Protein backbone atom coordinates (compact mmCIF):
# COMPACT_ATOMS: atom_id res chain seq x y z
CA UNK A 1 0.00 0.00 0.00
CA UNK A 2 1.97 2.88 -1.25
CA UNK A 3 -0.59 5.62 -1.62
CA UNK A 4 -3.69 7.05 -0.03
CA UNK A 5 -5.96 5.63 -2.74
CA UNK A 6 -4.87 2.09 -1.89
CA UNK A 7 -5.59 2.74 1.80
CA UNK A 8 -9.04 4.13 1.02
CA UNK A 9 -9.90 0.98 -0.91
CA UNK A 10 -9.27 -1.00 2.29
CA UNK A 11 -11.70 1.09 4.36
CA UNK A 12 -14.90 -0.74 3.27
CA UNK A 13 -13.26 -4.05 4.25
CA UNK A 14 -12.31 -2.56 7.59
CA UNK A 15 -15.94 -1.49 8.09
CA UNK A 16 -17.06 -5.05 7.42
CA UNK A 17 -14.49 -6.47 9.86
CA UNK A 18 -15.33 -3.99 12.62
CA UNK A 19 -19.09 -4.41 12.25
CA UNK A 20 -18.63 -8.19 12.21
CA UNK A 21 -16.68 -8.03 15.47
CA UNK A 22 -19.36 -5.78 16.95
CA UNK A 23 -22.20 -8.09 15.92
CA UNK A 24 -20.20 -11.16 16.92
CA UNK A 25 -19.59 -9.76 20.39
CA UNK A 26 -23.34 -9.48 20.88
CA UNK A 27 -23.91 -13.02 19.66
CA UNK A 28 -21.12 -14.42 21.84
CA UNK A 29 -22.33 -12.57 24.92
CA UNK A 30 -26.10 -12.50 24.68
CA UNK A 31 -26.88 -15.65 22.73
CA UNK A 32 -24.09 -17.95 23.93
CA UNK A 33 -22.26 -16.74 27.07
CA UNK A 34 -25.07 -15.50 29.31
CA UNK A 35 -27.45 -18.39 28.54
CA UNK A 36 -24.60 -20.82 29.29
CA UNK A 37 -24.12 -19.19 32.69
CA UNK A 38 -27.77 -19.70 33.57
CA UNK A 39 -27.72 -23.30 32.33
CA UNK A 40 -25.05 -23.87 34.97
CA UNK A 41 -27.58 -22.64 37.54
CA UNK A 42 -30.07 -25.25 36.32
CA UNK A 43 -27.34 -27.90 36.66
CA UNK A 44 -26.51 -26.77 40.20
CA UNK A 45 -22.97 -25.67 39.32
CA UNK A 46 -23.56 -21.94 39.94
CA UNK A 47 -25.95 -20.00 42.11
CA UNK A 48 -28.32 -17.60 40.41
CA UNK A 49 -26.49 -14.69 42.03
CA UNK A 50 -23.07 -15.82 40.79
CA UNK A 51 -24.43 -16.49 37.29
CA UNK A 52 -25.98 -13.01 37.28
CA UNK A 53 -22.70 -11.47 38.39
CA UNK A 54 -20.75 -13.38 35.73
CA UNK A 55 -23.26 -12.51 33.01
CA UNK A 56 -23.15 -8.88 34.13
CA UNK A 57 -19.38 -8.89 33.71
CA UNK A 58 -19.76 -10.35 30.21
CA UNK A 59 -22.29 -7.66 29.29
CA UNK A 60 -20.07 -4.94 30.75
CA UNK A 61 -17.18 -6.09 28.57
CA UNK A 62 -19.45 -6.27 25.54
CA UNK A 63 -20.72 -2.74 26.22
CA UNK A 64 -17.13 -1.45 26.32
CA UNK A 65 -16.46 -3.22 23.02
CA UNK A 66 -19.59 -1.63 21.53
CA UNK A 67 -18.35 1.81 22.51
CA UNK A 68 -14.94 1.16 20.96
CA UNK A 69 -16.48 -0.26 17.77
CA UNK A 70 -18.79 2.77 17.43
CA UNK A 71 -15.86 5.17 17.62
CA UNK A 72 -13.73 3.13 15.20
CA UNK A 73 -16.62 2.66 12.78
CA UNK A 74 -17.55 6.34 12.88
CA UNK A 75 -13.95 7.29 12.06
CA UNK A 76 -13.65 4.67 9.32
CA UNK A 77 -17.01 5.50 7.74
CA UNK A 78 -16.15 9.19 7.83
CA UNK A 79 -12.86 8.51 6.04
CA UNK A 80 -14.56 6.26 3.47
CA UNK A 81 -17.80 8.22 3.01
CA UNK A 82 -17.13 9.16 -0.60
CA UNK A 83 -16.66 5.51 -1.51
CA UNK A 84 -20.31 4.70 -0.79
CA UNK A 85 -23.50 5.35 -2.70
CA UNK A 86 -25.76 8.00 -1.10
CA UNK A 87 -28.27 5.45 0.28
CA UNK A 88 -25.47 3.39 1.80
CA UNK A 89 -23.98 6.51 3.42
CA UNK A 90 -27.39 7.32 4.87
CA UNK A 91 -27.88 3.77 6.17
CA UNK A 92 -24.40 3.75 7.71
CA UNK A 93 -24.92 7.13 9.37
CA UNK A 94 -28.40 6.38 10.70
CA UNK A 95 -27.34 2.95 12.02
CA UNK A 96 -24.40 4.47 13.90
CA UNK A 97 -26.51 7.29 15.35
CA UNK A 98 -29.24 4.89 16.49
CA UNK A 99 -26.63 2.52 17.96
CA UNK A 100 -24.94 5.38 19.79
CA UNK A 101 -28.28 6.45 21.28
CA UNK A 102 -28.99 2.86 22.33
CA UNK A 103 -25.57 2.56 23.98
CA UNK A 104 -26.06 5.89 25.76
CA UNK A 105 -29.46 4.75 27.05
CA UNK A 106 -27.87 1.58 28.41
CA UNK A 107 -24.86 3.26 29.99
CA UNK A 108 -26.62 6.32 31.42
CA UNK A 109 -30.03 4.95 32.40
CA UNK A 110 -30.73 1.22 32.10
CA UNK A 111 -27.58 -0.27 33.65
CA UNK A 112 -27.42 2.14 36.62
CA UNK A 113 -31.08 1.41 37.41
CA UNK A 114 -30.51 -2.36 37.15
CA UNK A 115 -27.50 -2.14 39.50
CA UNK A 116 -29.47 -0.04 41.96
CA UNK A 117 -32.42 -2.45 41.97
CA UNK A 118 -30.09 -5.46 42.25
CA UNK A 119 -28.55 -3.95 45.39
CA UNK A 120 -32.00 -3.28 46.88
CA UNK A 121 -33.09 -6.86 46.16
CA UNK A 122 -29.84 -8.33 47.52
CA UNK A 123 -30.13 -6.33 50.74
CA UNK A 124 -33.78 -7.25 51.17
CA UNK A 125 -33.81 -10.89 49.97
CA UNK A 126 -30.20 -11.99 49.46
CA UNK A 127 -30.53 -12.15 45.66
CA UNK A 128 -32.75 -11.07 42.81
CA UNK A 129 -33.99 -14.64 42.33
CA UNK A 130 -35.03 -14.90 45.99
CA UNK A 131 -37.28 -11.83 45.78
CA UNK A 132 -40.99 -12.50 45.26
CA UNK A 133 -41.94 -12.07 41.61
CA UNK A 134 -44.64 -9.55 42.54
CA UNK A 135 -42.28 -7.39 44.62
CA UNK A 136 -42.20 -3.95 42.89
CA UNK A 137 -38.40 -3.72 42.68
CA UNK A 138 -38.22 -7.24 41.19
CA UNK A 139 -40.88 -6.39 38.61
CA UNK A 140 -39.05 -3.18 37.69
CA UNK A 141 -35.77 -5.11 37.52
CA UNK A 142 -37.38 -7.59 35.13
CA UNK A 143 -38.82 -4.82 32.99
CA UNK A 144 -35.44 -3.09 32.76
CA UNK A 145 -33.71 -6.39 32.00
CA UNK A 146 -36.15 -6.95 29.14
CA UNK A 147 -35.61 -3.40 27.93
CA UNK A 148 -31.86 -3.97 28.03
CA UNK A 149 -32.23 -7.13 25.93
CA UNK A 150 -34.46 -5.30 23.46
CA UNK A 151 -31.87 -2.51 23.28
CA UNK A 152 -29.16 -5.11 22.58
CA UNK A 153 -31.29 -6.53 19.77
CA UNK A 154 -31.61 -3.03 18.32
CA UNK A 155 -27.85 -2.62 18.51
CA UNK A 156 -27.39 -5.98 16.75
CA UNK A 157 -29.69 -4.79 13.97
CA UNK A 158 -27.60 -1.61 13.68
CA UNK A 159 -24.38 -3.66 13.50
CA UNK A 160 -25.88 -5.88 10.80
CA UNK A 161 -27.06 -2.78 8.91
CA UNK A 162 -23.55 -1.34 9.00
CA UNK A 163 -22.09 -4.64 7.79
CA UNK A 164 -24.58 -4.97 4.93
CA UNK A 165 -24.49 -1.32 3.86
CA UNK A 166 -20.70 -1.37 4.05
CA UNK A 167 -20.49 -4.51 1.94
CA UNK A 168 -23.07 -3.77 -0.76
CA UNK A 169 -23.16 0.01 -0.77
CA UNK A 170 -19.76 0.62 -2.30
CA UNK A 171 -19.76 3.11 -5.10
CA UNK A 172 -18.39 1.71 -8.34
CA UNK A 173 -15.50 3.77 -9.69
The residues spanned by each domain of the chain are 4-168
pLDDT digits (tens, 9 = 90+) for 45-103: 998 888 988 998 999 999 999 999 999 999 998 888 788 889 999 999 999 999 999 99
Distance CA 164, CA 91 (A): 9
Per the CB < 8 A criterion, the answer to whether 50 and 44 are in contact is no
Kindly report the pTM of this predicted structure. Answer: 0.87
Return the minimum-mean-pLDDT range out of 2-6, 42-46, 71-75: 2-6
Amino acid sequence: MSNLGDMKRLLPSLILILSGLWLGSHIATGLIGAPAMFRLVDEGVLTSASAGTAAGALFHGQMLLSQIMLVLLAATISAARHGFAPRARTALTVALIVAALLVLAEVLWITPQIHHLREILREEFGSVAAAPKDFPARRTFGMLHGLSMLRALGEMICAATVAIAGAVGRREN
